[in-house]
Structure 1
Amino acid sequence: MIIRYLGDSELAQVRRRRWRKVFYVIDDDLMRLDDDRSVPEDYRQRLLAFRQKRLPDILDLADVIVAPNERILEGYPSKKGERLDPCYVTVCDDLRHFDDYQTIRILFPGSRSHLNDLAFLQEGLLRLSAAHTELEIVTYMGANAPVRLKGMEQIQHRKPLPWAAFQKEQQRERFHICLMPTVATPFNQARSINKLFDCAAVGAVGVFSRGGPTDGVIADGVDGLLVDHDVMAWEKAVGFLIDDMARAKTMAQACLDKAGLCGNPVRVRDFWRKQLDI
């Protein structure tokens, strides 16, 4: 099983043996990057270099492509494709933080590849911060955060963390609202539903883009909010939750339940048991 990327030594190791079947697990849409400049350019160039120099070697070995989105699988028409949604790592076990919301904590969990999505929200976040002094907004953009959002007392831009460290921090942190817009770009349209699990990990109600990866998973107004691509609509949606934290708590609980249903690790385990005949 090859997961995402492969270095020279790993490639040599895979080539030294004869395998009954090789699976390639990929969660980025590498095939639509030529005309999609929505992600940071240095990141885009790294992905393009990988696609040109190393992906052909991996595809020579791979029998099956496993991805969380059909759009990714469409990029490999000569290979057998299997759709597999991710599972959660952890789900918040209580919502006691909703008992005290003198400070309302809002999380933007996106990595640097979501910088364009955060930039879309910036004017709304500035207005919300000015109108609601009880807000504390956290991102993991560090120095990469949009300039307009830097130096704001209510907005923390923590340094980006490796995935494992980010997961551990999520287990310790609690938030009330989680914002995950996905601007309608080819790269974003091929993303997975993993941001649902970020919301559940920190015990928050999620606000997602209508038409994004969580369409068909999130029931609008029940276990999250789906919002049109309009910053004023996002500002209004967040304001709605701020003004009714009892409703927000109910929706956060429903979000935990939805994550537990959609992200059950047993489903992923059973998928691989079937694929590997074990």
Structure 2
Amino acid sequence: MLVDRVRPTEDIYFLVSVAPVLRNQGMYVKEIDTRRNWCPWWRSAELPSLFEGANVLICRSLPRAWLHWLFQHKAIIGRIIYLIDDNIEAASNDTTLPIAYRRRMRRVAKLQPSMIALADEVVTPSQQLAETLRLKHAHVSVLPPPLLAPLPPLLHFKEPPNETRPWQVGFHGTRSHVADLAQIAPAIIQLHDQREDVMFEVMLGEHTPEALKLLHRCVTPAPLPWKAFHEYQRQRRIHIGLAPLLPTAFNRGKSYIKFLDIAAMGGVGIFSNRYPYDEIIEHGVDGLLADDDPADWLHCMQVLLDDPEATLAMARAAAKKAAAIGHHQHALSFWLARSTAISHSPSTGS
């Protein structure tokens, strides 16, 4: 895999979920950091034999030097697969997204036509994003996100919400979802003011909407680096997770990974009533679907807080579904089907 430091995408879809199993089965899996080794010609004696007949996985973007090298040596490579988990073009033009994020996406968008042209296959976790990419490439496949974190016992549900031990409501999206959160902020504020048995965590730090920063029972820790968040996710327990998603072109390409994230923290999710969530959530069984009106989000949170036993049942159902749809075997089978079964290290590799 040519690593471009696009964690967590690289980890979720290959490096953590699948690569260790492939290695245990005797396959040769190598990571090359293309930012640290930005000029492939510095390793010109080694690389041709290393890449000959190999499957090469690239994710989101690459330095231009690597793109040029791969085009020059494509004839010797077994297969090139391009993994992309966002609608980059839509992100670069979405005025609801932070300016710095849009600028990064514009840089990637300029390279993406070359990435797509280079690839034998394009892989994405979202069916709708796949449909968009099929306008640009003849061979696009869907790999749903695997579940990385273990599912916890739901012991934090043993007490109903109360002022001593308030139930935890969490938003753990990235900065690209600030506008989505701002849309439902009135619901959070109203619920906060209505009852003392609930506490909120919004992991956006300084990027948290100002109105939420003022709430007495709303903590706003700074976003964590991916590996630190992955560990935090294993320890943190929430009762309710919020996953708003406005109807933008960028959001239409999203996968259902937030369903897995919320289940991994032991919570019941409230999700926007649109793709991808309306295809996997059974409303009232393993989560709740809410319309864009903040009043609907307020109602959903109240429903979960007012009926702890039903909420626990939903948490159990969500965990069961997350275990099924996020099982690593799905991703393993996907990559095995694309493997040339290189079972030993090339003599020049290490």
Asked whether the 8 Å contact 1:91–1:200 carries over to 2, the reply is: no
TM-score normalised by the chain length of structure 2: 0.75
Q: Within 2, Cα distance between the matches of 1:185 and 1:253?
A: 31
Q: Within 2, Cα distance between the matches of 1:4 and 1:34?
A: 14
Q: Within 1, Cα distance between the matches of 2:149 and 2:70?
A: 32
The alignment status of 1:50 with 2:113, answered yes or no, reads no
Q: Within 2, Cα distance between the matches of 1:13 and 1:75?
A: 24
* 3-state secondary structure, aligned to 2:82: strand
* 3-state secondary structure, aligned to 1:174: coil
TM-score normalised by the chain length of structure 1: 0.94
Residue of structure 1 equivalent to 2:151: 92
The residue type equivalent to 2:145 in the other structure is P
- CA drift at 1:11: 4.2
- CA drift at 1:78: 4.0
- CA drift at 1:38: 2.3
* 3-state secondary structure, aligned to 2:270: strand
Q: Within 2, Cα distance between the matches of 1:193 and 1:32?
A: 18
Residue of structure 2 equivalent to 1:214: 277
Asked whether the 8 Å contact 1:92–1:256 carries over to 2, the reply is: yes
Asked whether the 8 Å contact 2:145–2:257 carries over to 1, the reply is: yes
The residue type equivalent to 1:84 in the other structure is L
* Equivalent position to 2:124, from 63, 67, 82: 67
Q: Within 2, Cα distance between the matches of 1:222 and 1:56?
A: 42
Q: Within 2, Cα distance between the matches of 1:93 and 1:173?
A: 10
The residue type equivalent to 1:92 in the other structure is L
Q: Cα 1:45–1:130, aligned 2, differ >3 Å: closer, same or farther?
A: same
Asked whether the 8 Å contact 2:89–2:105 carries over to 1, the reply is: no
Unaligned runs of 5+ in 1: none
* 3-state secondary structure, aligned to 1:270: helix
Q: Within 1, Cα distance between the matches of 2:68 and 2:297?
A: 49
Unaligned runs of 5+ in 2: 1-56, 342-350
- CA drift at 1:70: 2.8
Residue of structure 2 equivalent to 1:25: 83
Residue of structure 2 equivalent to 1:249: 312
Q: Within 2, Cα distance between the matches of 1:13 and 1:94?
A: 49
The residue type equivalent to 2:61 in the other structure is Y
Asked whether the 8 Å contact 1:184–1:212 carries over to 2, the reply is: no
Asked whether the 8 Å contact 2:60–2:108 carries over to 1, the reply is: no
Shifted more, 55-64 versus 216-225: the winner is 55-64
For residues 55-108 of structure 1, give each alpha carbon's deviation from its aligned partner in whole angstroms, at most 9, with x where no partner exists: 233223211110012332223524210011110011323000001343100111
Residue of structure 2 equivalent to 1:264: 327
- CA drift at 1:264: 0.6
Residue of structure 1 equivalent to 2:237: 174
Q: Within 1, Cα distance between the matches of 2:224 and 2:66?
A: 24
Identity %: 31
Residue of structure 1 equivalent to 2:257: 194
Residue of structure 1 equivalent to 2:21: none
For residues 91-132 of structure 1, give each alpha carbon's deviation from its aligned partner in whole angstroms, at most 9, with x where no partner exists: 323000001343100111111111011101111111111111
Q: Within 2, Cα distance between the matches of 1:43 and 1:127?
A: 30
Q: Cα 1:78–1:147, aligned 2, differ >3 Å: closer, same or farther?
A: closer
Q: How does 1:69-218 map to 2 (within 5 A)?
A: 69-73=126-130, 74-79=132-137, 80-100=139-159, 101=161, 102-218=165-281
Larger radius of gyration: 2
Residue of structure 1 equivalent to 2:44: none
Q: Cα 1:141–1:68, aligned 2, differ >3 Å: closer, same or farther?
A: same
